[in-house]
Amino acid sequence: MKIIKIVLIIIAFTIVGFIGGLFVQSPILNIISDGVFTRWRPLGSPPEKITNLLGVGLYSGQRVVYGETDNNQVFRCCPQAIGEWEEAEATAYIYDQECMSLPPKSSPPPGEVKDCVEIAALEWVTDRKQYALLEDGTVWTWHHHISLGTLLSIICISTIIGGIIGILFVWQSERRKHKLQSNQPQSQ
């Protein structure tokens, strides 16, 4: 009987956590959509100074940014391999999309932008990746991703927090009850 009571209390707190997650998900998604948690990351610069960004393409299943030098040499860099630029062939599969403005609370690029390209998917997810060539010749990347997984993460985390609070509540009440029972004088 005692175990059923404990389980029901934990389930109740878990349900409260789930409902709380439903209420807080909208404000949290608004904060994420405003770009509060996005930051620019450096990709370094290729062996030769690039003068413009050609676009974003796929290479070995990953998105890579392509840049061109004054003497028409093309270099590419994969954001997962920071600073690893390699000479490349210009490919026909380059997405050269103009950069849209950043969300209102996103950090600005770390310098004066000379050129910028972006690849974005804005249907079922918001997945934007910008690459900025700065005046000093370095390339930086910015990534903003919101999806159904983001929403589910918020709700799941709040549900787990509710369950943990329920466990702590039960533990504390059992501890208090045990302490009260041990402080009562024993009758003979």
Rounded CA separation 165/13 (Å) = 7
Coil/strand/helix, residue 10: helix
Residue 64 host element (H or E): strand 62-69
Show pLDDT as tens, one digit a residue, over the chain (188 residues). Answer: 688 888 888 888 888 888 888 888 888 888 878 888 888 988 888 888 889 888 888 777 778 888 888 888 888 887 666 668 888 887 766 776 778 888 888 888 999 999 998 887 766 677 888 889 999 888 898 988 887 777 788 888 888 998 898 888 888 888 888 888 787 766 55
Nearest to 51 by CA among 159, 110, 124, 139: 139
pLDDT at 188 (0 to 100): 54
Q: What is the residue-wise DSSP string for 54-121? A: EEEEEETTEEEEEEEETT--EEEE-TTSTT-EEEE---S--B-BPPPPPPTTSPPPSS-EEEEEEEEE
What pLDDT score does 126 carry? 76
* pLDDT given for residue 62 in this prediction: 78
- Enumerate residues 6+ apart whose C-beta is below 8 A from 138: 42, 43, 44, 45, 111
pLDDT for 81:
62
Domain locations along the chain: 40-144
Torsion of CA 128, 102, 77, 49, to 10 degrees: 160
DSSP state, residue 164: H
Residue 56: per-residue pLDDT: 86
- Give the whole-angstrom CA distance, residue 98 versus residue 105: 20
pLDDT at 134: 92
Orientation angle between helical segments 2-33 and 148-183, nearest 10 degrees = 140
Residue with tokens 């959509």: 33
| Confidence (pTM) | 0.70
